C-alpha cells in the first residue's frame, strides 16, 4: 500500500503543549497508515525564493517564535536526517530541472517539530525539511510536490505544514467560529474532493472570503497544501480527516491525499 501525503495545520506553537481534540487526533494519526521510513515536510515557516533542503545528519530544534510560556522553549525534537533520502530528492529535483540550495545547520522550525512531536513523539524517524516559495504560482508549487510522488512508494511520508485559514490579525478569544472562515474551508473542501485543480489554482478569485482567509502577508501558510497535493498527483484522491477552529478562525484541519 502506497503511503499517502498529508496537509497538516500546525496552528499555534502552543499545539505542542495543548491537550484538545486536534492534539489528540494528531497523536493517533499515524495509525491511519504504516510507519514511514522517513518524513519530508514542506513548512510554511521556511519561505525562500529558491527551493531549499536540509542536509544535516541531525537536527536542532528551532524556537522561531516569541512571547510563549518558558515550557515551550524547553521542548526538543532531536530527529535525525537521512543522507540517502537527500540524494534521492536531489535525483528527483535534477530530473525535473529544479535548482535547489542545500541548507546545513538550519534545524527544524516549529512548522515541522510541533506536529511531528504529536505524530511521532519518539523522534525516531528521519526527517528532511523542504522550503516553500510563496512567489511561485499554485501550479508551480503543485508541480514541485509532484516531483516527489515516487517517494510515497518508497514509504516516505510527505507533509505540507501550514494553515488553510491563517490570518493572525483577525483572531479573537471568543468561542464562536467566524462564518467566513467556515465558508472558505467548505469551498476548499469541495474543490479538493473533486480534485479541481483549475478552480483551486484560481482560489484567490473564486473562493469566498479568500482575502480574509489567505491574506498576502500569510500566503506561505496556505501554499503547503499545493505541495502536499502534488505529491499525490498519481492518485488524485482527497479525504478530510479533521476540521476544527481556534481563536475564532484559525483553521485546524488535516487532509490526506492518495491511499
- Chain segment 155-195, per-residue pLDDT in tens: 999 999 999 999 999 999 877 999 999 999 999 999 999 99
Domain ranges for the chain, please list them: 5-257
124 three-state secondary structure: coil
User: Mean per-residue pLDDT for 188-212?
Assistant: 98
- Chain segment 221-233, per-residue pLDDT in tens: 999 999 999 999 9
Please report which confidence band the pLDDT of residue 30 belongs to, taking 50, 70 and 90 as the band edges: confident
CA distances from 11 to 18, 43, 56, 159 (A): 11, 12, 26, 15
**In angstroms, rounded to a whole number, what is the distance separating the alpha carbons of residues 189 and 184?**
9
CATH of domain 5-257: 3.40.830.10
**In angstroms, rounded to a whole number, what is the distance separating the alpha carbons of residues 77 and 50?**
26
Please report which confidence band the pLDDT of residue 211 belongs to, taking 50, 70 and 90 as the band edges: very high
Q: What is the pTM assigned to this prediction?
A: 0.97
- Chain segment 121-165, per-residue pLDDT in tens: 999 999 999 999 999 999 999 999 999 999 999 999 999 999 999
Strand partners, 159: 6, 41
Please report which confidence band the pLDDT of residue 58 belongs to, taking 50, 70 and 90 as the band edges: very high
- On the question of pLDDT at 27 being above 80, the answer is yes
Amino acid at each position: 500500500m502506497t503511503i499517502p501525503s498529508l496537509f497538516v495545520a500546525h496552528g499555534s506553537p502552543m499545539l505542542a503543549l495543548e491537550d484538545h481534540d486536534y492534539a489528540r487526533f494528531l497523536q493517533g494519526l499515524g495509525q491511519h497508515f504504516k510507519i514511514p521510513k522517513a518524513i519530508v515536510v514542506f513548512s510554511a515557516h521556511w519561505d525562500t525564493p529558491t527551493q531549499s533542503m536540509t542536509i544535516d545528519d541531525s537536527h536542532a530544534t528551532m524556537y522561531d517564535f516569541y512571547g510563549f510560556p518558558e515550557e515551550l522553549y524547553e521542548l526538543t525534537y532531536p530527529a535525525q536526517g537521512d543522507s540517502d533520502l537527500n540524494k534521492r530528492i536531489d535525483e528527483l529535483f535534477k530530473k525535473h530541472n529544479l535548482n535547489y540550495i542545500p541548507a546545513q545547520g538550519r534545524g527544524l522550525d516549529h512548522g515541522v517539530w510541533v506536529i511531528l512531536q504529536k505524530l511521532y513523539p519518539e523522534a525516531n524517524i528521519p526527517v528532511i525539511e523542504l522550503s516553500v516559495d510563496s512567489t511561485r504560482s499554485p501550479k508551480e508549487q503543485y508541480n514541485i510536490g509532484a516531483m516527489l510522488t515516487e517517494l510515497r512508494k518508497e514509504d516516505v511520508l510527505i507533509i505540507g505544514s501550514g494553515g488553510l485559514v491563517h490570518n493572525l490579525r483577525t483572531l479573537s478569544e471568543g468561542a464562536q467560529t467566524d462564518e467566513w472562515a467556515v465558508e472558505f474551508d467548505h469551498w476548499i473542501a469541495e474543490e479538493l474532493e473533486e480534485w479541481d485543480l483549475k478552480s483551486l489554482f484560481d482560489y484567490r478569485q473564486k473562493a469566498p472570503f479568500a482575502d480574509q482567509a489567505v491574506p498576502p502577508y500569510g500566503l506561505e501558510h496556505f501554499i503547503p497544501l499545493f505541495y502536499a497535493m502534488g505529491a499525490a498527483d498519481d492518485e488524485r484522491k482527497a479525504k478530510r480527516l479533521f476540521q476544527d477552529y481556534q481563536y475564532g478562525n484559525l483553521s485546524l484541519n488535516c487532509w490526506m491525499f492518495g491511499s
